[in-house]
Structure 1
Amino acid sequence: MKPSFNRILAAAITAVTLFTSPAFAQEKSIVLSSTTSTEQSGLFGFMLPIFKMKTGIDVKVVAVGTGQALDIGRRGDADVVFVHDKPAEEKFVSEGFATKRTEVMYNDFVLIGPKSDPAKIAGGKDIKVAFQKIAAAQAPFASRGDKSGTHAAELRYWKDAGVSVAPGPTWYKETGSGMGPALNTASGMNAYILADRATWLSFKNRGDLTILVQGDPKLFNQYGVMLVNPAKYPHVKKAEGQEFIDWITSKNGQDVIASYQIGGEQLFFPNAKK
């Protein structure tokens, strides 16, 4: 028997109601341009589901080096930028690509190298002296070479040590890769490498590598977050992007960052200004 007109009409109304209900409404989302360290350390995998549960906003992460992350923001291809190169971030703001930079958290860089330690730097706390010894020994060094925040810090340390690595000497290899792949290269080469502590703690393929130098105040590694300027790029999701920034710098967001650990060790330390 053919269904009655009333039944067809009722089914149509039900379908329209169902697909226009909040459950089927378009999901709120933002694009977050960030560093490989926040992604590869596992922080985003831990933190972002909590943010989504609280706000309903899905965060789509583009994880690249800080230089590339800022360039993505400059093109207006991200709503929020979350990176770790303060001078470059301040320049981003001064150029008008963001109106404000907010500090979120910090950790530190560590100098990794083979246990055999041909440059004899183990146990040192002076990054300048360590870099001078590596250059003097012409010991293999793997650089990210990708204009990331870590690469920018490394180049500052070489400059402070009075060592020129451009054009690169034979012992100096630029990988042009993120932190994890660069660590893999260093492991394969038995080379020294500068890494952020968070990615190192989550890195499995260590081979003969270990932390050799740490604790120098110059190794401090600050992260900042910025909303891409909606006055420059009207399509930027201002409300949702600002909600992410407000949450990550709130007590709840800061507590979530502090609670992320690997092997009982805290990876990031929240320091958003209250």
Structure 2
Amino acid sequence: MVVLRRSLLSLALAFLVAGPASAEPERAITVASTTSTEQSGLFRYLLPRFTEKTGIGVKVVALGTGQALDVGRRGDADVVFVHDRPAEETFVAEGAGVKRYEVMYNDFVIVGPKGDPAGAAGQDVTVALRKIAEAKAPFVSRGDRSGTHAAELRYWKDAGIDLGAVRGDWYKEIGQGMGPALNTASAANAYVLSDRGTWLSFKNRGDLAILVQGDKRLFNQYGVMLVNPEKHLAVKAKEGQAFIDWLVSPEGQRDIAGYKIDGEQLFFPNAQGGKS
């Protein structure tokens, strides 16, 4: 039943395979991850290097963090690679994952119209959100239980804004990933919270620019966990752990640091042997 469910999941959701399709490795794992790691181009850069070294292929199911963790809970993935530390720690504490390893980080930014009609530009994310809400300036929310969506909701709360009380036509939840959220913001000339990596790889910018950055609260940590093979016998524990070990190894960390767009580094490795 688990094998059938995994097959159906692979057909129903978008995934990519490390290495050329004509030479797909006999051994392969499924990684449930975020749209930011896929849409930023990181996996297209990183996974062929892992496959070349180990002979293990990687299929990626790209979802919001909450959905990716649910895929892991069902045993429909071998590894979960996401960016919402509280949710990750819950995943491990409840026994769905074996151990959490820190891998890399970047940061969130608020992107918006270059003319900045709300006057949101600056460093303080909470001040910016208050100004956007007061101006009822168009704001696009992913609304998809992703790590970015969870961070956005925390920032509204930190800003002292009750979205239930102020929400109106200006606040648009789309229930989709980072790329579609940026496309929607570009079309509507709206504000949006984005991870920097996806923004840097995004081509359809229109009149948008980074307006808010540098607040320490915008720090964005990524973690990776093996799905518990004691709960799900189909989990490829050996191959999944090999992928995790490679990500946190000096070689994997160098390759993460080596991914750049127009000379700008998208993710910063910080495993340091690092598990928590």
Q: With structure 2 as the length reference, what TM-score do the two structures score?
A: 0.89
Deviations along 1:99-138, whole A, 9 cap, x unmatched? 210000000000000011111122x110010001101111
Provide, for residues 21-47 of structure 1, a one-character-per-residue CA deviation record: whole Å limited to 9, x for no partner: xxx997000000000000000000000
Superposed CA deviations along residues 216-248 of structure 1, whole A, max 9, x for unmatched, are: 000000000000000111110000000000000
> 2:132 and 2:66 mapped to 1: Cα distance?
26
Counterparts of 1:121 and 1:166, CA distance in 2: 21
Q: Is the CA contact 2:142–2:177 (under 8 Å) kept in the aligned structure 1?
A: yes
Distance 1:134 1:182, change over 3 A: same
Aligned residue for 2:246? Answer: 247
Cα distance in 2 for partners of 1:176, 1:235 equals 30
- SS class of match (2:117): coil
How many residue pairs align between the two structures?
A: 250
Q: Which residue of 1 aligns with 2:17?
A: none
Runs of 4+ in 1 over 6 A off after TM superposition: none
Identical aligned residues as a percent: 70
> Which is higher, the Rg of structure 1 or of structure 2?
1
- Counterpart code for 2:238: A
| Structure 1: runs of 5 or more not aligned | 1-23
Partner amino acid for 2:151? A
**Structure 2 residue 149 is matched with structure 1 residue 158:** no
Aligned match of 1:86: 85
- What whole-Å deviation, never above 9, does each CA across 1:190-232 have from its counterpart, x for those lacking one? 0000000000000000000000000000000000000000011
1:183 and 2:166 aligned: no
Quick one: distance in 1 between partners of 2:265 and 2:65?
Answer: 22
Residue 129 (structure 1) aligned with residue 124 (structure 2): no
Return the alpha-carbon distance in structure 2 between the equivalents of residues 222 and 45 of structure 1.
Answer: 20
Tell me the amino acid that sits aligned with residue 202 of structure 1.
S
Aligned pairs (5 A) from 1:1-274: 27-122=26-121, 124-166=122-164, 168-274=167-273
Asked whether the 8 Å contact 2:24–2:57 carries over to 1, the reply is no
C-alpha separation between the residues in 1 aligned to 2:220 and 2:119?
25
Which range moved further: 249-258 or 164-173? 164-173
Distance across 2 between alignment mates of 1:126 and 1:105: 23
Whole-angstrom CA distance in 1 between matches of 2:101 and 2:123: 29
- Given residue 75 of structure 2, which amino acid in structure 1 is its aligned partner? G
Counterpart CA distance in 2 for 1:224 and 1:52 is 20
Using the size of structure 1 for normalisation, the TM-score is 0.89
Residue 99 of structure 1 aligns to a residue whose secondary structure is strand
Structure 1 counterpart SS, 2:59: strand
Give 1:154 deviation, angstroms.
Answer: 0.2
